[in-house]
Amino acid sequence: MPDFDYVDVFTLATDAASDATPEQWARAMFGDVPNTGERLIWRGLLGLRLTRGRSPETVAGWRVAERGEDWIRLETASPHLTANLVVRTSEGRISLGTFLRYDRTLGRLIWPPLSAVHRRLVPGLLRDAAARVH
């Protein structure tokens, strides 16, 4: 992956980590299509281009860019930033990494305030996904 301007990684210890593939974990977190809140943030506030409908090549509108045995990378972009989400499973752990590159000044201006909300929401997102998978 190229250089990024913003990176975070959240990890949850869970007995359910090996109960699902990384793609199944990603779908447990985000669903097959984005929900109303995700559309508001991703499309409305960030301007991310999301695909419509369900597809084996997308998760919640994000394109599946790459897959590995214990990880999956989702990718999308807007006119002002490029975004990647990486879901990784390891023994007893599930992780979600967020990687953003600011392609224009607007990306650099809008993400910092939204990142505070993002950092508050992700731990609950991981816990909710673990409850769905377990």
Cβ(58)–Cβ(87) below 8 Å: no
pLDDT at 91: 86
* Span 6-133 CATH architecture: 2-Layer Sandwich (3.30)
Rounded to whole angstroms, what are the CA distances from 127 to 1, 76, 121, 124? 27, 24, 10, 5
Whether pLDDT at 2 is above 90? no
Domain residue extents for the chain: 6-133
pTM above 0.75, yes or no: yes
Whether pLDDT at 5 is above 90? yes
pLDDT at 47: 95
pLDDT at 14: 94
- Torsion (CA) 64, 66, 72, 76 in degrees, nearest 10: -40
pLDDT tens-digit profile of 84-117?
Answer: 999 999 989 999 999 999 999 999 999 999 999 9
Give residue 73's pLDDT band: very low, low, confident or very high (50, 70, 90): very high
Report the alpha-carbon distance of residue 51 to residue 62 in Å, rounded. Answer: 7
How does DSSP classify residue 19? G
pLDDT at 134: 83
Whether pLDDT at 76 is above 70? yes
Report the alpha-carbon distance of residue 25 to residue 77 in Å, rounded. Answer: 22
pLDDT tens-digit profile of 11-64?
Answer: 999 998 888 999 999 999 999 999 999 999 999 999 999 998 899 999 999 999
117 SS3 class: helix
